[in-house]
Chains A and B, each alone.
Chain A
Amino acid sequence: MADRYELELFVVGHSAKAERAESNLRRLCEARLAGRYELRVTDVLEDAEAAEAANIIATPALMRRAPLPVRVVVGDLSQHDALVRGLGLEEEEKDGDEGGQR
């Protein structure tokens, strides 16, 4: 429960897709991980090296650096269930909070 989440969202420029991904992500984080997550947004156009190091191919891409194992969720994060699964929050989903997001 006390896991801290270290997240990095890779986007390319300020596309609609990028903005959608960021807002979808922030909404979920605020609802489920308030106070125990850190989110950094990296624009590949400004920092190609970071994308190279993280082996980012498709964007938007959300990288969960902590807790381990590292996971990558690709896409505009509009598929809520896949995003929840990608962040490893399914267990917490069961603990209640039904009728929260969406």
Chain B
Amino acid sequence: MTDERHGMVKLSTGMEGFDTIGFGGLPKGRSTLLSGTAGSAKTVFAMQFLVKGAALGEPGVFVTFEETPADLRRNMLSLGWDCAGLEAEHRLAFVDASPRADEERIEAGTFDFAALVARIEACVRRTGAKRVVLDSIGAMFAQFKDPAAVRRELYRIIAALKQLDVTAIVTSERTEDYGAISRHGMEEFVADNVVLLRNTLEEEKRRRTIEILKFRGTDHQKGEFPFVVSDEGVVVIPLSSIQLRQKSTTLRIASGSDELDAMCGGGFFRDSIILVSGATGTGKTLMVTAFMAGGIAKGERCLAFCFEESRQQFFRNAAGWGFDFEQLERDGQLKVVTDYPEIMPLENHLIRMKRIIEEFKPNRVAIDSLSALERNSTTRSFREFVISLTAFVKDQEMAGLFTSTTPTLLGGTSVTEAHISSICDSIILLRYVEVYGEMRRALTVLKMRGSAHDKEIREFNIDGSGMHLGKAFRNVTGILAGHPMQLAVAPEELERLHEMFPRE
């Protein structure tokens, strides 16, 4: 990818998400300083850059100043990266500049790093490397006494890399996540391009972010983007970019209830996100079940993520409403994924859910519930999760139905809704209504982007055959506010109320 104005070429790193925020990747033929605190995944990021390069036919050289190649090979195996295998195929090579424990080193006069430069050059020529990593230069300051000499010599190495026409990542330690760019003032030497990795503690949760501070002469996305270290390495979650590509359609799909379809003006839109909000027991899981069943009846593939119930519970409930989800899953038309939200950070859930969606390629996806996932995250992480997931779902031309549990039984909104209501295309509220000493359920379509819809608050009933929408509550006000009040009504209206669901 070329930036026309500056003639700066980017090298696609092959790393998911990073190329997006880097507008194509890293500046080609240049060195980029990758700085972060201890444990911010610098080495993993750097190694992934080489492993991805090897897969793209671009050999890489890893110059290690800290860990031994043996340690690196072993550590990277846990991410599924077979360094030894790549080395055997001449797609990866190590230059070992790590300190040797059994060797004493004494300084006696002026020195330079010409030997290291010669070794790196020889290794790059031998392998035809296009990518080089220096990890981490801070360790060199521990190995030699004179910091000014080390700084001068590191600069010599970086200048040599430029001559070799390789794209390099130079890692460096920082002492704080928000402070000086790097220890030892290395940014003065590798100042052209700086990427920061952060690993901060927020509301008792770890949050990893990546920020491209600068790419000289070429553009990139600004600000911090969350990333995770999953079993496939670093995955950057680009937030703003994915929203730009969203398509929109007027294609309608069945909600699973004919009455609800009618209320929505003919069904949900295909590339839309529907939020179903309600207190516990108001029928959110039933809405999910109906949504899945409605898709299956039309021959669509359906995927449900359940974070509140076990598979058995979900299947049993469905069976109670007459749907054999177990058989449908065996047939491959349905997939139900159940997990405790707490098993991994929210960012990892996001990556995993995207993977499952990509593999299963559903037409519909449901999440029950977002509130359960919210328990396990910070406010900011959760908002980013919802933005990223909704954009992803829409981009895949799927319909998404997400549920959200309100904390109070009557009325009220949840924090969840505050974050996602503007992102969702449609909002359906399920509420309890107290009428003459009886708890009834109410449903209303609060919002339906791009379509006319029924604005009534309708009675909603659950029985052995599923959900049924009744007539509107005419004589009750304050349902949504959580303070239902019966209005003084004429006797004939009372009659009507009793007739709404005639008991047979």
Contacts and interface: CB of A to CB of B under 8 A. Distances in A.
A78 B107 CA distance: 10
Contacts of A76: 108-111
Interface in A2-23: 10, 12-13, 15, 17, 20-21
Interface in B103-138: 103-119, 122-123
B103 A69 contact: yes
B260 interface: no
Given A76-B108, A78-B108, 13 more contacts: A13-B114, A17-B112, A45-B118, A48-B122, A51-B118, A52-B122, A57-B113, A59-B113, A60-B111, A70-B102, A72-B106, A76-B111, A79-B109
B67 interface: no
Given A58-B144, A70-B102, A75 B115 contact: no
Contact of B119 (A20, A48, A73, A83): A48
B116 A58 contact: yes
B498 interface: no
Contacts of B109: 20-21, 24, 75-79, 82
Interface in A44-102: 44-45, 48, 51-52, 55-61, 69-79, 82-83, 85-86
Nearest to B93: A52
Given A48-B122, A70-B103, A58 B108 contact: no
Interface of B: 95-98, 100, 102-119, 122-123, 143-144, 153
Given A52-B119, A55-B96, A58-B144, A75 B111 contact: yes
Given A57-B97, A75-B108, A85-B106, A48 B118 contact: yes
Contact of B108 (A15, A69, A74): A74
Nearest to B100: A55
Contacts of B104: 69-72
Given A69-B102, A70-B102, A72-B103, A56 B115 contact: yes
Nearest to A13: B114
14 contacts: A15-B114, A17-B112, A44-B114, A48-B119, A55-B103, A58-B153, A60-B111, A72-B106, A74-B144, A77-B108, A78-B108, A78-B110, A79-B108, A82-B107
- Most chain A beta-carbon neighbours within 10 Å: one of B98, B110, B114: B114
Nearest to B97: A57
A21 B123 CA distance: 26
Contact of A74 (B100, B102, B106, B117): B106
A59 to B, nearest CB: 4
A86 B108 contact: yes
A71 B107 CA distance: 11
Nearest to A15: B114
A83 B108 contact: yes
A52 B108 contact: no
A75 B119 contact: no
Nearest to B120: A48
In the A-B complex, list the 10 residue pairs whose CB atoms are closest, starting with the nearest: A75-B109, A82-B108, A48-B122, A12-B114, A76-B109, A78-B109, A86-B106, A59-B115, A58-B111, A79-B108
A42 B118 CA distance: 13
A71 B106 contact: yes
A59 B106 contact: no
Contacts of A58: 111-113, 115-116, 144, 153
A68 B500 CA distance: 98
- Most chain B beta-carbon neighbours within 10 Å: one of A12, A21, A69, A86: A12
Contacts of B112: 12, 17, 58-59
Nearest to B63: A57
Contacts of A59: 111-115
B119 A44 contact: yes
Given A52-B95, A55-B100, A82 B106 contact: yes
A55 B118 contact: no
Nearest to B113: A58
Contact of B116 (A17, A24, A57, A73): A57
A45 B123 CA distance: 12
A90 to B, nearest CB: 12
Interface string A25-56: 00000000000000000001100100110011
Nearest to B143: A57
A3 B107 CA distance: 23
- Most chain A beta-carbon neighbours within 10 Å: one of B102, B107, B144: B107
Contact of B115 (A57, A70, A73, A77): A57
Contacts of B114: 12-13, 15, 44, 59
